[in-house]
């Protein structure tokens, strides 16, 4: 268990699971993700890209691994991309679907640390604008 894992360590863990491969019309494994939970456990996953749009992002694969193991709170998460081992490794921000998936996990999900580089981390709320529910003062007067 490691609650204080560095960005570089988490990036390396995500990159270790990547294994880009074409399977028919699908391209899988070119994005890897790693997350650390509030309990300090690490879960990883890869993407499954399909031509039909029914693919599954690496972040959601890692989160599914976490949930399968009866954990429900992400502390920190990263996704990395490389479709060729001879190319550079890139850190990716989560797509809109993954951002929403993380948001739905817990009441304090907006405080998840999203790694955007070896020395850059932002909160999910910074990537998820206008996520607050409106208060009564913001209601439209509909008479």
CA separation for the pair 63, 59 (Å, rounded): 6
Partners of 113 in beta bridges = 76, 123
Note the pTM of the prediction, 2 decimals: 0.86
Q: What ranges make up the beta strands (E) of 1-143?
A: 21-23, 26-37, 42-49, 74-81, 90-92, 113-117, 120-123
pLDDT tens-digit map of 70-83: 999 999 999 999 86
Confidence of residue 131 (pLDDT cuts 50, 70, 90): low
User: Is CATH 3.30.465.10 the right assignment for the domain spanning 7-138?
Assistant: no
- Please, which residues have CB within 8 angstroms of residue 15's CB and are 6 or more apart in sequence? 32, 80, 82, 89
């Amino acid at each position: 268990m490691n609650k204080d894992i560095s960005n570089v360590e988490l990036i390396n863990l995500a990159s270790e699971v990547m294994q880009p491969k074409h399977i028919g019309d699908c391209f899988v494994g070119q994005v890897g993700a790693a997350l650390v939970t509030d309990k300090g456990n690490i879960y990883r996953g890869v993407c499954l890209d399909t031509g039909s749009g029914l693919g599954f992002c690496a972040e959601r694969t890692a989160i599914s691994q976490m949930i399968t193991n009866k954990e429900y709170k992400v502390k920190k998460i990263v996704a990395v991309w490389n479709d060729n081992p001879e190319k550079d490794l890139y850190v990716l921000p989560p797509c809109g679907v993954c951002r929403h998936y993380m948001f739905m996990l817990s009441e304090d999900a907006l405080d998840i640390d999203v790694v955007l580089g070896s020395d850059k981390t932002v909160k999910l709320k910074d990537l998820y604008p206008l996520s607050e529910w409106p208060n009564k003062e913001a209601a439209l007067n509909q008479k």
